[in-house]
Structure 1
Amino acid sequence: MYRKSLTALLALALTVGLTACSSKPPEESEPPDSQPSVSVMAPVEPESVLPYVNPLTGEGCAQDIAQKRPVAVMLNNLKKALPQLGVSQADIIYEAPAEGGITRMLAVFQSVEEVGDIGSVRSARDYYVSLAMGHDALYLHAGGSPGAYAAIKNWGAAAFDCVNGPYEGTLFWRDKERRRSMGMEHSVLTSGQTISELMPTYSYRLEHKEGYQYPAAFLAEGEKAQGAPGNRVSVEFSTYKTGVFTYQPETGSYLVEEYGAPYLDGNTGEQVAVKNVLVLRTDVSYLQGDDAGRLSVRTTGTGTGQLFCDGTVQDITWFKAKHGAPMTYCDQSGQPLKLGVGPTYVNLVDHSAQVTVN
């Protein structure tokens, strides 16, 4: 509040035209035209970079999970047993033929903590044991063929069996609705939370041995796969089962179909999408003397195949030195194959299988 001026001073101020001591404050003057205006920019928050990498997908992750043993779950793929649960969160899905024209799947999860229910869990085959051991994985199954049980014993697999092990009612359970509507053999489930909570209570190591490194290479950010057009591929396992993979340019992934319909995850109702589709040619034959018509599927040695990624297809070569060794891939020049960053779907088929690229 301005103080009151003395009368004499006010008269003198009015005489000389001063205004500084008037009862009204002076008006603010306009800044000179030559003075530049300054706009203050809000600070830009840098994009958060996840500090670790999932070794199976190349994706960033918040925790260091590279030395954790993955979990590999044997999945039923009969049409009547669908939908499967948890498959949209698998890092790698292997599919191979089984007896009678059907297929089974092996879903591999580097980390299962945030995965919901997984299943339905089905019986083991020796070639799936080989694939699981290639990841040094903890292998979950419900029963198995004689060859699978022999492989688990002779190869030293870390296997958890719902049927002939002490795990039913703890690590596994039978879903009442599936048991009622689909049958006993299609009702076995587990879950990511259950696996995470119970695995530390068992006498198996939960981390890879020192020096372990999964031998996968991935495309750099902004790098695209090269090859001929490969926007859609159908893989015929038998007259009963054909898988179809269709590229979606807007997402950069392939949507998966089977039995003429979208391949759905029953946990979410969403169609499964993958970044990479591998088709591996190998030797598939009937097991001599097996009265159930079971198959032998070669998973070791070497063979040819194709990679579908970013709407392209290229010829590749696959290698697996032994059952406990990982599957590795090379491009046509003999260099390590670079996969797209994201989940991978691996189809193992006979040399004579019909694979159609559109």
Structure 2
Amino acid sequence: MKFTPKIIISLAITFFVSASLAYAIVPSTSGGLVSPRAETLTEKKTAGFGQFTDEPKTEACPLNGKLYSKSEKTLWEARRPILAMIENDIHARPQSGLASADIVYEAVAEGGITRFMGVFYCGAQADTAKVAPVRSARIYFVNIAAEYNNPIYMHVGGGNCSADAASGQCTSNKKAFALEELVKLGWRKAGGNDFDTIGDIGIPVMKRDYQRLGAGVEIATEHTYVGYLSYAWREAEKRGFNNLMPNGKTWLSGVKLWKSGTSDIVGQPAQNIKYDFWANYQDFTVDWKYDPTIKEYQRNQGSVAHLDLETSKQITVPNIVVQFAKEEGPLDEHKHMFYTVIGEGTGMYFSGGQGIQIKWKKTAQTARTIYTDLNGKEITFSPGAIWISILPIGNKVVYN
């Protein structure tokens, strides 16, 4: 057949019409119809994590003192942090993004399974930064998030009333009402800073990726939500949640910053640290090993190296805090837990191969948690990531 200009134009029209019809009837992997542009935005060519590698690291992160480039500082100064809930089920490992968090909080979510809340600000300014798997909120994490001066809070659902369909009565204990607490804070509303997929957040900020662990690796639906931080910051900007508060002051001016610098602790040798959240839950046993060449602790959990999926490297941090808190639960049929993180208590601080006993105090929901030595002097953190594990009072921490 000879392809005349008229035939070529006809074939082209047929192709585009067919493609449009196919798109109209086939749902996206997120479970609903979205624009093709929204689906492909996250697949664009990017500069990646190495985009600032060659720039001098001269600018200290206000959250932990680690040095970054001027380009990264320019980006974080125009934004406020994203606090993302990341799960730790053994079938969801390895996670994405924990290695780029400035601060990580860790506590049991339910059934002895721990969950993380990463604070992403300075270390996540690469345009490929993403976090996964994003999971549900817990009230004690919300109480900690509240000390970050109205950050972007990223999650997928959370503890709530869970009313019984027949009786209308709540099936959850009131102490577990995380979503209701987000409403009280003023975060959970249309166009708010509560970024939840069962609220008003979707693609491209968050979407499901059933192949996040690789082609051919089957994972359950609950382990598939990925948060794309660059798109989250763009959405936050659209909603008015940038570096400025309604009163014109900067976001950072409303946060009590921890001290960072040369750590001057003199304690007991702590080259190796080990602890459990719950007894007989070995998959969640944590042990840290100090590497003097990089002056950071290497994290292991369940007796294997804890890797970040995006870097394929073991997670390392120079600062470890163990915070002992009162544990209550399971509170209800959903196995919700509650940890008292508003108040005061004791803990341990590890850095530079040394460990000391500490105290912690948080006077109100929006007040900053302050860590001090036993004499009341505020801890000076070594520059770099800070990992905070919240353990039940009475748990043992073994170190040597």
Indicate conservation of the 8 Å contact 2:107/2:389, yes or no: yes
- Equivalent of 2:300 in 257, 281, 288: 257
For residues 310-347 of structure 1, the C-alpha deviation after alignment (integer angstroms, 9 at most, x for no partner) is 00001111111112122111112211111111101100
Q: Is the 8 A contact 1:54 1:66 kept in 2?
A: no
Structure 2 distance, partners of 1:262, 1:120, is 18
Give the residue type in structure 1 aligned to 2:156: A
| Aligned-partner Cα distance in 2 for 1:116–1:213 | 24
- Count of residue pairs the alignment pairs up: 307
SS across alignment from 2:236: helix
* CA-to-aligned-CA distance 1:130-186 (integer Å, 9 cap, x gap): 111212221100111111101111123431101x11212231000032597111111
For residue 60 of structure 1, report the CA deviation from its aligned partner: 2.6
Summarize deviations over 1:41-64 as a string: whole Å, max 9, x none.
xxxxxx9672x4211111233225
CA distance in 1, matches of 2:77, 2:296: 24
What is the rounded CA distance, in whole Å, between the counterparts of 1:207 and 1:159 in structure 2?
A: 17
- Quote the residue 2:155 is aligned against: 141
Instruction: Tell me which of 83, 96, 100 is aligned to 1:85.
Output: 96
Partner of 1:189: 226
Q: Work out the CA distance in 2 between the residues paired with 1:293 and 1:59.
A: 38
Aligned to 2:235: 198
Partner secondary structure for residue 314 of structure 1 = strand
Give the aligned partner of residue 58 of structure 1. Answer: 65
Q: 1:292 to 1:317 in 2, by over 3 A?
A: same
Matched-pair contact (CA < 8 Å) for 1:113–1:196: no
| Distance (Å, rounded) in 2 between the aligned partners of 1:59 and 1:242 | 28
Aligned equivalents of 2:212, 2:118: Cα separation in 1: 20
1:105 is matched by which residue type in structure 2? F
Which structure shows the bigger proportion of residues in helix conformation? Answer: 2
Task: Give the counterpart letter for 1:159 in structure 2.
Answer: D
- When residues 292 and 119 of structure 1 are mapped into structure 2, their CA distance, relative to the original with a 3 A threshold, is same
Q: Verify the 8 A CA contact 2:78 2:242 in the aligned structure 1.
A: no
Match of 1:113 in 2: 125
Specify which of 248, 259, 273 is matched with residue 291 of structure 2.
248
What is the rounded CA distance, in whole Å, between the counterparts of 1:168 and 1:67 in structure 2? 23
Look up the match of 1:234: 274
Residue 77 of structure 1: how far off its partner (Å) = 0.4
Report if the CA contact (8 A) 1:215-1:328 is conserved: no
Q: Match of 1:169, SS?
A: coil
Comparing 173-182 with 246-255, which one deviates more in the overlay? 173-182
Structure 2 residue matching 1:181: 3-state secondary structure = coil
SS of residue matched to 2:289: strand
Report the more deviating stretch, 238-247 or 76-85: 238-247
Q: Distance in 2 between matches of 1:174 and 1:141?
A: 13
Match of 1:173 in 2: 207
d(CA) in 1 for partners of 2:270, 2:237: 43
Amino acid in structure 2 at the alignment position of 1:276: N
Structure 2 match to 1:160: 195
**Residue 109 of structure 2: aligned partner:** 98
Q: Give the secondary structure class of the aligned counterpart of 2:204.
A: coil
State the 1:70 CA deviation.
1.2
SS of alignment partner, residue 116 of structure 2: strand
Distance 1:256 1:105, change over 3 A: same
Q: How far is the alpha carbon of 1:198 from its aligned partner?
A: 2.3
Partner of 1:4: none
Q: Which has the higher Rg, Structure 1 or Structure 2?
A: 1
Separation (CA, whole Å) in 1 of partners of 2:62 and 2:327? 29
SS of the residue 1:199 aligns to: helix
Give secondary structure in 2 for the equivalent of 1:251: coil
Gapped runs of 5+ residues in structure 2? Answer: 1-54, 161-176, 188-192
2:136 maps to a residue whose letter is S
2:273/2:397 contact within 8 Å kept:
yes
Q: Distance in 2 between matches of 1:49 and 1:121?
A: 30
Distance 2:143 2:180 in 1: 12
**Correspondent of 1:128 among 138, 141, 157:** 141
Give 1:260 shift: 1.3
Q: Give the deviation of 1:224 after TM superposition.
A: 4.6
Structure 1's unaligned 5+ residue stretches are: 1-46
Percent identical pairs in the alignment equals 27
TM-score by length of 2: 0.72
In structure 2, C-alpha distance between the alignment counterparts of 1:340 and 1:134, rounded to whole Å? 21
1:209-288 matches, cutoff 5 A: 209-210=249-250, 211-220=253-262, 224-238=264-278, 239-240=280-281, 241-286=284-329, 288=331
Alpha-carbon distance, 1:257 to partner: 0.7
CA–CA distance in 2 between the matches of 1:224 and 1:337? 9
What CA distance in whole angstroms lies between the structure 2 residues aligned with 1:195 and 1:48?
Answer: 27
**Two-structure CA RMSD over aligned residues (Å):** 2.1
Three-state SS of the structure 2 residue aligned to 1:226 is coil
Q: Which amino acid aligns with 2:142?
A: V
AA of the residue aligned to 2:143: S
